[in-house]
Structure 1
Amino acid sequence: MNARKWVKRLWITFACVLVLVVGVGAWIVVQNDFAVREVQVTIPGPKQPLKAVLALPTEGKGPRGLVVFAHGDGVADASGDEVYRPIWEAFARAGYASLSWNKPGVGGAPGNWLHQSMSDRSAEVDAALDWAKRQPEIDPNRLGVWGISQGGWVLPKVAGDRTDLRFMILVGAAVNWVRQGEYNLRAELQDQGAPAGKLDAELRRRAARLRLLEEGAAYDKYLASGLDNSPMSRDRWRFVLQNFRADVTDQLPKVRTPTLLMLGDHDRNVDVKETEATYRAGIPRGLLTVEKLRDSSHSAVKYELDNPDSVWGLITFVAAPRSIYVPGYLDSLTEFVKKHGR
């Protein structure tokens, strides 16, 4: 084969690779283009300003309904590290805006979320709802809340204290801090295939840590105990110390808001059987809808993708972010809001 033909083949190969790269890039751009307009806002919070994002639908006119978000545990910015955007879009399809904020101390927000109690977090949601009712873009008569995991200790108090909410949506909601922690420990060790002896040792370690919490031990005493090879930070110990008695059971009978409880069948964090039973016993009759999500993790993400080491999960998150969630989850959000939020 002469040199000219080699050059021609190289150019054809280069062109094909270029087309493929451009095509993939365009696909990713389209998949990450959500039907919401994000506006940075600052909300006067109960202790410090809240650095927030108001995600408004791009279609339709007039004041919008609003869904206020409550994060789970851990560091979280307003977008939930970008996993909220498909959820914002689902609410936008129902004509609702979404409002979420950086946890205190995250992304330049003042404060420290590890210094908060669950009541502090409920007060933040109340402040956000009161602020939103004064905004011209928001219809004050169409308000709802969405929360995940630890948000299950935050939002029922809000719903029980207020009369202006149209709906509450909870995903993987926790009931009791102590029991949830033990359930999570057992589930994680089972997934790891840990021997029974390791489980027994970890349960003993957990019981000793709980005794320190119950006596209100200072951080230095916890540290000196040597219980944990990688001990909690001082702030984390403070956070657990002020929240480990959290239990939503007594709050549920006060709720007068239509509630959608969404539970994954592969939830390693929360005992969904306990959650369902507690909510059915506590929420007044006729107000509760329970939806069980098949092949779902704690956060309604597909179970096989919900792993920080999953390469395919990362690829899906980047190239098709709506597809990280189990089928039907986003549609259920839209339909529930349409039904109860008009």
Structure 2
Amino acid sequence: MRPKPQPRRRALHIAVWSLATVLVVTAGLVGVVLWQNSYEMDERQVSIHHGNSTLKGVLATPTDGRGRHGLIVYVHGDGPVDATHGDGYKPLWEANAKAGYASLSWDKPGVAGAPGDWLDQSMDDRADEAVAAIAWARARPDIDGDRIGLWGASQAGWVLPKIAAETPVSFVIAVSPAVNWLQQGRYNLLAELRADGASASRTKAEIARSDATRRLLERHASFEEFVKEMGRDADGMTADRWGFISRNHTADATQDLRTLLGVPVLLTLGGRDINVDTADTERVYSEVLNAGGALTVRRYPDGTHSLLKQSIEQSDLKTTLAALFSPRSLFADGFLDDQRQFLKDLGRGSNSTP
């Protein structure tokens, strides 16, 4: 008779095979993550001199072997955003590269070691920054200076037309752009209260608090005055943030948008956006730009303010898993394809082939 394995040996065999299985599965998962987060483009760190400062950026270029490419200059929304937006821009850059366009983006001042502080900036400051980046790009032999356009999200809606007023641009992609700062703020407040199922009394109190803040802004109140008047309702406001809001709260893109007349503009809007009144944004863009016949509007019913799928964005776990294993699937269906097609159509309508 064949001797039975000893219990200790059997346990050892089970442990070894279990460990081997875990290692194989782990290696497979790591491989999937690396594959899904590899993009068909070349990336390089760049430095752009702007006044007495330096913009720390990333230039992502197609791998098609062509000597010159068009370029999309990225203009961030609100907040401390780095050049890649935590790698969130990379699926967009890949879509651009497949259409024959390079992408340029940089860290906001004070982010990721960049000099300065983005909270010290006005919308005009941000436009000047982008103009300097475009001048830098036009001097490069690998960039076609006649095919440089802009991509901007949310707060960038106040910056994009200011850039176009200072330097020629070939096109604009506006993602969930705001039009009027104060109106956008009120819309966001009410939308969030509705989403929270706020009571009538809470809604009334929040509106009163918002009105009080507006009055303080109108009379150019200091941060100390704000804290004194709002007391417990200061809600975590900092002196730097108050300065940023005070500097920019009168922003309104309506008149500035006229600088984009005749420029091809792709306006992308999410049906689940609670930050920006997309219906009002579409109305203003249509009224101002439709006369030039160059406005294209794309709507994404499940898209949030960031044009991510709401079903994913509302869950931290789903967002993390998608970012690791399928980053391109984060975005609303059709969003990446529509931007790539927009760029390809530009190429067909010009003498240059992207």
Q: Which residue matches 1:44?
A: 49
Quote the Cα distance in structure 2 between the aligned partners of 1:193 and 1:46.
48
Of 68-77 and 283-292, more deviation after overlay is shown by 283-292
Alpha-carbon offset, residue 8 of structure 1: 3.2
Quote the Cα distance in structure 2 between the aligned partners of 1:226 and 1:159.
39
Of 243-252 and 36-45, more deviation after overlay is shown by 36-45
Of 269, 284, 296, the residue aligned with 2:303 is: 296
Query: Contact 2:270–2:278 at 8 Å: present in 1 too?
Result: yes
Quote the Cα distance in structure 2 between the aligned partners of 1:209 and 1:68.
34
- Computed over aligned residues only, the root mean square deviation of the Cα atoms, in angstroms, reads 1.5
Q: Which residue matches 1:209?
A: 213
Q: Which residue matches 2:350?
A: none
Sort the Cα spacing of 1:120 and 1:205 in 2 relative to 1 into closer, same or farther, 3 A. Answer: same
Q: Which residue matches 2:30?
A: 25
Sort the Cα spacing of 1:175 and 1:34 in 2 relative to 1 into closer, same or farther, 3 A. Answer: same
Q: Which residue matches 2:20?
A: 15
Q: How does 1:145-294 map to 2 (within 5 A)?
A: 145-163=150-168, 165-227=169-231, 228-255=233-260, 256-283=262-289, 284-294=291-301
Aligned length: 340
Query: Contact 2:131–2:166 at 8 Å: present in 1 too?
Result: no
Alignment partner of 1:80 is 2:85: yes
Alpha-carbon offset, residue 46 of structure 1: 4.2
CA offsets per residue over residues 11-59 of structure 1, 9 Å max, x none?
3332222211111110000001111222111112245211111111223
Alpha-carbon offset, residue 5 of structure 1: 4.2
Quote the Cα distance in structure 1 between the aligned partners of 2:15 and 2:49.
61
Quote the Cα distance in structure 2 between the aligned partners of 1:127 and 1:229.
37
Which protein is bigger by CA-based radius of gyration? 2
Sort the Cα spacing of 1:182 and 1:312 in 2 relative to 1 into closer, same or farther, 3 A. Answer: same
| Matched AA of 1:300 | L
Alpha-carbon offset, residue 225 of structure 1: 1.1
CA offsets per residue over residues 211-269 of structure 1, 9 Å max, x none?
00000111111111125242411111110001000000001222131000000000010
| Matched AA of 1:103 | K
Sort the Cα spacing of 1:219 and 1:120 in 2 relative to 1 into closer, same or farther, 3 A. Answer: same
Quote the Cα distance in structure 2 between the aligned partners of 1:282 and 1:48.
35
Alignment partner of 1:324 is 2:330: yes
Query: Contact 1:46–1:124 at 8 Å: present in 2 too?
Result: no
SS at 2:252 equivalent: coil
Alpha-carbon offset, residue 133 of structure 1: 0.2
Query: Contact 1:60–1:95 at 8 Å: present in 2 too?
Result: no
CA offsets per residue over residues 93-130 of structure 1, 9 Å max, x none?
01111100100111111111101110111111111111
Q: Which residue matches 2:118?
A: 113
SS at 2:84 equivalent: coil
Quote the Cα distance in structure 2 between the aligned partners of 1:60 and 1:200.
60
| Matched AA of 1:314 | T
Of 310, 327, 342, the residue aligned with 1:336 is: 342
Quote the Cα distance in structure 1 between the aligned partners of 2:293 and 2:193.
38
Quote the Cα distance in structure 2 between the aligned partners of 1:104 and 1:161.
21
Quote the Cα distance in structure 1 between the aligned partners of 2:103 and 2:180.
28
TM-score by length of 2: 0.92
TM-score by length of 1: 0.95
- Unaligned segments of structure 2, at least 5 residues: 348-352
SS at 1:109 equivalent: coil
Alpha-carbon offset, residue 6 of structure 1: 4.1
Alignment partner of 1:140 is 2:145: yes
- Unaligned segments of structure 1, at least 5 residues: none
